[in-house]
Chain A
Amino acid sequence: MSEETTTAEEALLAEPARPLPENPVLRALFEGYETVGWESSLGQDVAHVPNESWAEFAHAVRGAGFEVCVDVTAVDWMRERPERFEIVANLLSMEHILRLRMTTTAGRIDPSVASLVPVWPGANFAEREAYDMFGVRFEGHPDLTRILMPDDWEGHPLRKDFGVGSVPVQFKESHQVT
């Protein structure tokens, strides 16, 4: 730094401090990963993880004491967000009585993300369901096949461009009351 820059300018030029959670366990977790953003969504801690670091961050979260993977699911944002699919994993720590939500994104074409099954075996069925309903591939999943729909079903039902499939309902003709 040259002598001309003052501390006020330094403060302006410096990058804004990354928001970090207050809880010490979570704080330690987030401080280790620069690329993971923290957000408090209606009082719940959310980690926004880039797609490439999904597995690595998951290992770290497991190491921080989150023994239970409660759920893995996906949201289809269609055109509302730059990346079409958002994959959400809900985690629970019985030791610290904490919840954490991890989210990442996957694009429109051939969406895929690393599987959490090596870290939490309990994510098995949930990832299969996300694959079945959205078409998001989970790399490293032991058995990524359709779970809810028949095996020969085409399409992924919970995508926004998959119609509801409703059948027009025929009503009886109403009688005229005279």
Chain B
Amino acid sequence: MSEPTIESAQITEVLDVWVAGTEEPEFSPTDEGEQEISDHESAARLDEQFGRVVEDDYVFDDGVDEGERMILNMGPQHPSTHGVLRLQIELEGEIIRRTKPIIGYLHTGMEKTGEQLSFSQGGTNVTRMDYLAPFHNELAYSLAVERLLGIEVPPRAAAIRVLLTELNRCSSHLVALATNGMDIGAVSMMIYGFREREQILAFFEKTTGLRMNHNFIRPGGVAADLAPGWKDDVAAILVELPRRIQQYDDLLKDNPIWLARTRGVGVISSEEAIEYGITGPPLRATGVSWDLRKAFPYSGIENYEFEVAVGERGDVYDRYRVRVDEIHESLKIVEQVMDLMPKGDYRVDDRKVTPPPRARIDESMEALIHHFKLFTEGFKVPPGETYVAVESPRGELGCYLVSDGEARPYRIHTRAPSFANLQALPIAMADSLMADTVATIASMDPVMGDVDR
């Protein structure tokens, strides 16, 4: 070891002072960053220090001119816009001032195609409009055609229609809950919702042959009778679904995160809702008890007892609750239909409208001719126009049908509930935060096939 040099001696000196700790550094208190709370502080300052008042520096006064606003484009390819919805959002910091929904990215020209297809083929076209509630599209269309033809379907057909449409309401609301949950962050809801939906879709596949876009409800009745053993399948759904929905309630209903993200978000008042023609769960969540199944009943639905689910505040949470309650009410109707299903024909006996059974074609010449004419030319519908509306999971789904006496519709127009509900999106999103956009869109539950047709 070498002799300590002068440097090390100096270092030793410093070390001595440090180790000894006999001298404390100079302490000169300043007012900056003073955290003490003294008694004579004002209540406002106290609130600030306790964090009760958030001083956000991104809220501008009204004096900000429009040039300071930022236009943000959301979509059309976006994971949370429920299809190809494009939103142009004018932002002032985090607050949304104006929104413009731009639609048309899924426009399929279904109304033009509908004029090329015969009346019995029309169901295949119409069913793909609101693809989450295909039975409702078919029902509105079939009811319109039947009104023009002046025929009534037999009670069994009407009951089968009610059974299928109410189960469809359940499956559509399950998708709504699943996507709602996933958009807000409860990703497990996606898996749960689709798991239950598989059970209902399995029943649909057994009955109609397809999981989606069935073309089963046709003018004159339904395409085929229910499969044997359908009661067991429906009973299994009636046992399983309420249990699982209880699971969702355990997950979401009193969940503080869910409540914080959905309470008071995307509020629409009942006056605004009525002004803008909003129907369905967004309207009922504002407190207006309007349901077409009660007001203008169709297809024998007045024979079943159920209640209309109504909310209070018109926010995202209430729309979610209304949808869950509607699933319960629909299951009640399904149970009653299952118990009361009448026997009889599943379609009208009029040979000019419904094709004869396949076995008859070999036996009777007339049956063969009817079959031929129905499937090549189609049945002719007397001239007239009518508007029929059903209560789809999204709201009032109407079909305005004009016939001029030919085998094809002259004009078919669908009043799409999501089309009207989207008009209220700017109202629901005005002056809310950007982060609430996704929750609001999800709660309005638009189906772009319905919007753009």
A positions within 8 Å CB-CB of B:
41-44, 67-71, 73, 75-76, 80, 88, 90, 92, 94, 97, 99, 101, 120-126, 129, 133, 146-150, 157-158, 164-165
Smallest CB gap from B144: residue in A: A42
The listed residue (B109, B384, B398, B420) touching A41 by CB distance below 8 A is B384
Q: Are A97's CB and B295's CB within 8 A? A: yes
CA distance A99 to B116 in the complex (A): 29
- Does residue B293 face the partner (Cβ distance < 8 Å to A)? no
Contacts of A94 in B (CB 8 A): 274, 288, 290, 295
Q: Are B275's CB and A122's CB within 8 A? A: yes
* Residues 193-227 of B contacting A (Cβ, < 8 Å): none
Q: Are B277's CB and A122's CB within 8 A? A: yes
Q: Are B107's CB and A70's CB within 8 A? A: no
CA distance A42 to B404 in the complex (A): 14
Smallest CB gap from A71: residue in B: B415
The listed residue (B111, B389, B402, B419) touching A125 by CB distance below 8 A is B419
* Residues 282-305 of B contacting A (Cβ, < 8 Å): 288, 290, 295-296
The listed residue (B113, B274, B278, B387) touching A101 by CB distance below 8 A is B387
Q: Are A164's CB and B104's CB within 8 A? A: no
CA distance A52 to B112 in the complex (A): 30
Q: From residue A146, how far is it (CB to closest CB) to chain B in Å?
A: 8
Q: From residue A107, how far is it (CB to closest CB) to chain B in Å?
A: 18
Beyond A90-B400, A101-B387, A120-B275: 13 further Cβ-contacts under 8 Å?
Answer: A67-B274, A70-B277, A70-B389, A70-B396, A70-B420, A75-B410, A90-B387, A90-B398, A90-B415, A122-B276, A125-B420, A126-B419, A164-B109
Q: From residue B384, how far is it (CB to closest CB) to chain A in Å?
A: 6
Q: Are B422's CB and A70's CB within 8 A? A: no
The 9 tightest CB contacts between A and B, nearest first, are A122-B277, A71-B415, A148-B104, A148-B107, A122-B276, A75-B411, A73-B413, A67-B274, A42-B386
Smallest CB gap from B106: residue in A: A148
B positions within 8 Å CB-CB of A:
103-104, 107, 109, 111-113, 116, 147-148, 150, 274-279, 288, 290, 295-296, 384-387, 389, 396, 398, 400, 402, 404, 410-411, 413, 415, 419-420, 422-423, 452-453
Q: Are A148's CB and B423's CB within 8 A? A: no
**With contacts A42-B148, A44-B387, A75-B402 known, is A157 near B112, CB below 8 A?**
yes
* Secondary structure type dominating chain A contacts: mixed
* Secondary structure type dominating chain B contacts: mixed
CA distance A41 to B296 in the complex (A): 17
Contacts of A164 in B (CB 8 A): 109, 112-113, 116
* A-B pairs with beta carbons under 8 Å apart, 8 shown: A42-B147, A44-B386, A80-B404, A92-B396, A147-B104, A148-B453, A149-B104, A157-B112
Q: Are B423's CB and A122's CB within 8 A? A: yes
Contacts of B296 in A (CB 8 A): 97, 99
Contacts of A165 in B (CB 8 A): 109
Smallest CB gap from B109: residue in A: A157
Contacts of A97 in B (CB 8 A): 295-296
CA distance A121 to B387 in the complex (A): 21
Q: From residue B357, how far is it (CB to closest CB) to chain A in Å?
A: 30
Q: From residue B125, how far is it (CB to closest CB) to chain A in Å?
A: 13
Q: From residue A168, how far is it (CB to closest CB) to chain B in Å?
A: 15
Q: From residue A154, how far is it (CB to closest CB) to chain B in Å?
A: 15
CA distance A149 to B413 in the complex (A): 17
Interface centre among B104, B109, B277, B278 (most CB of A within 10 A): B277
The listed residue (A41, A70, A76, A125) touching B423 by CB distance below 8 A is A125
Interface centre among B104, B274, B279, B423 (most CB of A within 10 A): B104
CA distance A124 to B398 in the complex (A): 17
Smallest CB gap from B427: residue in A: A121
Q: From residue B111, how far is it (CB to closest CB) to chain A in Å?
A: 6
Contacts of A80 in B (CB 8 A): 404
Q: Are A68's CB and B277's CB within 8 A? A: yes
CA distance A70 to B292 in the complex (A): 13
